[in-house]
Amino acid sequence: MTGESNKAHSSVNRQALVDKIKTWARELGFDAAGITDVDLTDHEKHLDTWIKKGMHGQMDYMHKHGTKRTRPNELVEGTVRVISVRMDYSQENIKQAEKILKDSEIAYISRYALGRDYHKVIRTKLKHLAKRIEAEIGPFGYRVFTDSAPVLEKALAEKSGLGWIGKHSNLLNSKTGSWFFLGEIYVDIDLPIDSPASNHCGTCRNCIDLCPTQAIVGPYQVDARKCISYLTIELRESIPEKYRKQIGNRIYGCDDCQLVCPWNKFAQATNEKDFTPRAQLTDKKLVDLLDWSEMDFLKHTEGSAIRRIGYQAWVRNIAIGLGNAKSSNTVISAIKRKLLEDNLSEMAIEHLNWAIDQHA
């Protein structure tokens, strides 16, 4: 991006443009959009502390880009504003989640991952939004993101007025709760900005007290190394034994801190068809998922975010679920059958053996 396009658009009525951007964002299927500047000074301090304490675990990408994450114009030169968007993924029956979590034979998959990979859905829509702006004002400098680069998405969204960062560290909103994804367009147009959202967590500490692994080590601070989402999705190695019992039947991510949040009773069901849960992933028995071969895994997770963890971590996670399942011949036979497969990693085998030991 250069300063050229900024100058070229000096005649544009910027408030009218912002109003149109918000309307187009809704027409494209986003649930809200807001505009902010690029000053993230306070957040930079918190991010630094988090990294210094090692709370990012093995997510090297959280620090390897230096200050690019907290200084948008170091990532994309010329950026002066950020258009933040949010897109709901909640389904009508989201409360069913609690029932599944209590059934040790069924696999619990985070609600966000049951449909099509949100990265693909949101990126495409953001590109359409940018093109729509271009059609109105002519060429300008921009880049679109959704969890795809060093971008401090929640801080930018909070500053854009889309919600506040809750004690569980997710962004939430008093009208819709927190079941939504975030995305951004970095732009070089000096648009009027929105006011930040105010915080309404009050004295509630449900998320802190009810987190299964006590990963929310203080309000607004999640130690990723303890978080089930990190352990089951980001960690590529063996999952420390001390967390395996608490993981229960959660084989991909965790939603507990959001399920216990009182604001989520206002959640809106998404209109996005791509987020419709896939039958092959919803309410499935752990034993049936363990029976999938690597080919089955690749086939059933095509276009899904789950594919990114790979087959060995998938088996590792299901093994933990089965180690925690009610003992039965079906469970033990399924684990033993899997151990006969010849392409398993040492990590997967170790978890399957651990699962067998739980039923001894």
Q: In the complex, what is the shortest distance from the CB of residue 283 to ligand B12, in angstroms, rounded to a whole number?
A: 17
User: Six-digit token pair at 84?
Assistant: 């933040």
Query: Which one is catalytic: 147, 190, 274, 288?
Result: 147
Is 188 an annotated catalytic residue? no
Please, which residue, 238 or 280, has the CB nearer to ligand SF4? 238
User: Which parts of this chain interact with ligand B12 (CB under 6 A)?
Assistant: 43, 46-47, 50, 59, 62, 110, 112, 146-147, 151-155, 165, 168-171, 178, 180-182, 220-222, 224, 227, 229-230, 233-234, 253-255, 257
Residue 178's binding partner, choosing from ligand SF4, ligand B12, none, with beta-carbon cut-off 5 to 8 A by kind?
ligand B12
Q: In the complex, what is the shortest distance from the CB of residue 81 to ligand SF4, in angstroms, rounded to a whole number?
A: 31
Find where tokens 């939603």 sit: 255
Please, which residue, 144 or 261, has the CB nearer to ligand SF4? 261
Please, which residue, 44 or 220, has the CB nearer to ligand SF4? 220
Q: Check residue 172 for interaction with ligand SF4 (CB under 6 A).
A: no
DSSP 275: G
Q: Decide if 289 contacts 281 (C-beta within 8 A).
A: no
DSSP 147: S
Distance, in Å, from the CA atom of 257 to the CA atom of 345, rounded to the nearest integer, reads: 32
Phi-psi region of 2 (alpha: psi -120 to 50; beta: other; left: phi over 0): beta
Q: Decide if 279 contacts 100 (C-beta within 8 A).
A: no
Please, which residue, 112 or 140, has the CB nearer to ligand B12? 112
Residue 181's binding partner, choosing from ligand B12, ligand SF4, none, with beta-carbon cut-off 5 to 8 A by kind?
ligand B12
CA atoms within 13 A on the CB side of 188: 22
User: Six-digit token pair at 182?
Assistant: 């975030």
Torsion angles phi and psi, residue 44, rounded to 5: -60, -40
DSSP secondary structure string for all residues of 223-274: -GGG-HHIIIII--SPPPHHHHHHHTTEEE---HHHHT-GGGGGPPPP--GG
Planar angle of CA 334, 338, 340, nearest 5 degrees: 125
Residue 147's binding partner, choosing from ligand B12, ligand SF4, none, with beta-carbon cut-off 5 to 8 A by kind?
ligand B12
* Footprint (CB under 6 A) of ligand SF4, residues 208-267: 211-213, 215-216, 222, 227-229, 254, 256-257
Residue 171's binding partner, choosing from ligand B12, ligand SF4, none, with beta-carbon cut-off 5 to 8 A by kind?
ligand B12
Residue 292's binding partner, choosing from ligand SF4, ligand B12, none, with beta-carbon cut-off 5 to 8 A by kind?
none
Catalytic residue numbers, as ranges: 147
Which positions lie near ligand SF4, rule CB under 6 A? Answer: 168, 211-213, 215-216, 222, 227-229, 254, 256-257
